[in-house]
Amino acid sequence: MQRTGDPDDRGQLVPDHITLEEFDAEGQAFLEANAEPRQDSGFRWGQGSDQVALIPESTPEEDRRQLAAAQGWSKKVFDAGLGWITGPPQYGGRGLTRDYERRWRTAEARYDTPSTTMFGIGLGMVAPTILAHGTDEVKERYLGALHRGEVLACQLFSEPGAGSDLAGLQTRAERDGDEWVVNGQKVWTSFAHLADIGEVICRTDPDLPKHKGLTGFIVDMHAPGIEVRPLRQMTGGASFNEVFFTDVQVPDTHRLGDVNGGWAVALTTLMNERAAIGGGGGVPGATRLVELARHLGKAHDPLVRQQLARVIVQGRVASMNNLRAMAKVAAGQAPGPELSIAKMSLTQTVTQTCDLVSTLLGSALVANTGEWGTYAWSELILGLPGLRLAGGTDEVLRNIVGERVLGLPKEPMAR
Ligand SMILES: Cc1cc2nc3c(=O)[nH]c(=O)nc-3n(C[C@H](O)[C@H](O)[C@H](O)COP(=O)(O)OP(=O)(O)OC[C@H]3O[C@@H](n4cnc5c(N)ncnc54)[C@H](O)[C@@H]3O)c2cc1C
């Protein structure tokens, strides 16, 4: 049987020929040898962690520990051929379909493995953009390394004067022979303090209309001239940063797509961002809410029951919409407004969850009595404004759905 890594008649690497059942057995054998099965993952009041934070609140030491654990696990998984199941074999992927990927994810979730959330931006957004727009050099250098956990990537898009209006960004890249010289400032860059590379969008022609004078690059975050300054969040942690560029040299081989074609590059990343965020990881489950209501003796309160039902129904509708978007991807189509709807639904579900928790807990949300499962909810509530902004704000997504799905007249735009 020809395996991944075998060259075919034309010297091209070919994907595995492996049935789903053989693949399942391979994944299972790997998990049994390298991880412990999760103990009963069902929620029990008062047991385990009561954390429900949306945005990581770790100290720098915890960051480093989590990163080392995530790297160790990703390396093992990648070396076993399970780290980039759908990726092209010539860049270290397995060349299999999303069905295989789903089977592996389901099997992996039954085991107690280190969290790889820190790699989310790199794998969910930067890697697909490199695959779509990168040069062969960049693809060969970074795609395998990103999936093996050797390289952590960040997204350098937002600036103090450019968020929703991303095309208004001002960070400049000027051509200098085979290199570009980057000057400017980015902000809200998640995980920049840990990142090895970043996807940056720069203005390369200030005389062109704003969407047309942009170019994307992969920058080495350890290059001279890059300064990363952490920003403290109201939730306590510091997972965002300001990033300053002073005469940073970037080789032209690290350009993504065409010169002044950066808007298409940014859109590739943003579509993947919406898919990653809208996927909904981290929303507290219904059982946790029901148990909270029971614990507080409010499970029979008609107002509470109504709010609870609303959260559960909203969550189910959101997951069905996600299935619709995934079915489109599996059928080889580009998902469009489903991803904007997915992100909006996630925000709505979390907003309703926060409303319900506020009704249930009242002052216990602001005064820590030390009781398990009560004050911990304040982190979710403080993280909600961030969720409403990240990956497209509520208002901007409503505009997209209004204009592109419902065909409403376009919002007047400031030039
Ligand atoms: C948790 C989190 C993680 C993030 N991580 C990153 C990251 O890793 N990399 C990165 O580059 N950026 C990141 N960001 C920044 C994020 O992309 C921006 O916050 C977002 O694009 C909004 O931009 P802004 O904050 O400048 O708000 P603005 O665009 O200034 O918006 C301010 C307000 O005006 C409203 N508004 C703006 N335009 C319109 C319009 N046309 N119609 C109606 N209302 C409008 C918005 O909805 C919002 O309420 C992150 C943000 C958060 C909260």
User: pLDDT by residue (tens digit) across 374-411?
Assistant: 999 998 999 899 999 988 899 999 998 899 889 999 87
Note the CATH number of domain 154-265. 2.40.110.10
282 pLDDT band (50/70/90 cuts)? low
Where do we find the tokens 């039902």?
309
Q: What average pLDDT does the segment 244-257 reach?
A: 98
Q: Are 187 and 214 in contact (CB under 8 A)?
A: no
Task: Delimit the CATH 1.20.140.10 region(s) of the chain.
Answer: 282-405
CA 34 / ligand 1 centre spacing (Å): 41
Q: Is the CB of 153 under 6 A from ligand 1?
A: no
26, 179, 242, 273: the catalytic one is: 273
Whether 202 and 184 have beta carbons less than 8 Å apart is answered as: yes
Q: Whose C-alpha lies nearest to ligand 1, atom 29?
A: 164
Cα separation, 391 vs 343, in Å, equals 8
Closest by CA to 313, choosing from 361, 355, 348, is: 348
Give me 234's structure tokens: 């109201």
225: left (phi over 0), alpha (psi -120 to 50) or beta: left
The atom of ligand 1 lying closest to the CA of 186 is 11
Of residues 414 and 346, which shows the higher confidence score?
A: 346
- Is any atom of ligand 1 closer than 6 Å to the C-beta of 71? no
How far does residue 33's CA lie from ligand 1's centre (Å)?
Answer: 44
Position 278 confidence tier, pLDDT thresholds 50, 70, 90: low
Over pLDDT 90: what percentage of the chain?
70
Number of other CB atoms surrounding residue 411 within 10 Å: 12
Q: Kindly give the number of the ligand 1 atom that is closest to the alpha carbon of 165.
A: 29
Q: Is 368 left (phi over 0), alpha (psi -120 to 50) or beta?
A: beta
* CB distance 158 to ligand 1 below 6 Å: yes
pLDDT in tens, 187-202: 999 999 999 999 999 9
The residue-averaged pLDDT of 8-14 equals 53
Q: Is 114 in the pocket of ligand 1 (CB under 6 A)?
A: no
Which is it for the CA torsion 374, 376, 382, 384, positive or negative? negative
Q: Residue 57: pLDDT above 70?
A: yes
- Indicate whether residue 386 lines ligand 1 (CB < 6 A): yes
CATH 2.40.110.10 in the chain: give the residue spans: 154-265
* Residue of the CA atom closest to atom 32 of ligand 1: 164
Length of the chain: 415
Can you tell me the distance from the alpha carbon of 173 to that of 249, in angstroms, rounded to the nearest whole number? 9
Q: Please compute the mean of the pLDDT values over residues 246-268 and round it to a whole number.
A: 97
Q: Whose CA is nearest to atom 1 of ligand 1?
A: 386
Q: Three-state DSSP class for 138?
A: helix
Question: What pLDDT score was predicted for residue 330?
Answer: 72
Cβ(163) – ligand 1 distance below 6 Å: yes
**Mean of pLDDT values over 353-369:** 94
For ligand 1, what atom is nearest to the CA of residue 394? 47
Does 72 score more than 80 pLDDT?
yes
Q: Is the CB of 396 under 6 A from ligand 1?
A: yes
Q: How far is the CA of 233 from the centre of ligand 1 (A)?
A: 15
Best residue for ligand 1 mutational test, from 57, 118, 164 (most atoms within 8 Å of Cβ): 164
Q: What is the pLDDT of residue 15?
A: 62
pLDDT in tens, 140-177: 999 999 999 999 999 999 999 999 999 999 999 999 99
Q: Above 60 in pLDDT, residue 6?
A: no
pLDDT band at 100 (very low <50, low <70, confident <90, very high): very high
Confidence band for 5, pLDDT divided at 50, 70 and 90: very low
Beta strands in 177-239 (DSSP E): 179-186, 197-203, 214-220, 226-231
Task: Please state the pTM of the whole predicted model.
Answer: 0.91
- Dist. CA 163 → ligand 1 center (Å): 5
The winner for highest mean pLDDT among 32-41, 280-289, 292-301 is 292-301
* pLDDT-based confidence at residue 319 (cuts at 50, 70, 90): confident
Name the more confident of 77 and 59. 77
Q: Is 273 a catalytic residue?
A: yes
282-405 in CATH: which number? 1.20.140.10
Report CA 87 to chain centroid distance, whole Å.
18
Query: CA triplet 323, 326, 331: central angle to 5 degrees?
Result: 125
Of the candidates 221, 200, 15, 195, which has an alpha carbon nearest to the alpha carbon of residue 123? 195
Which of 155-159, 268-272, 330-334 is least confident?
330-334
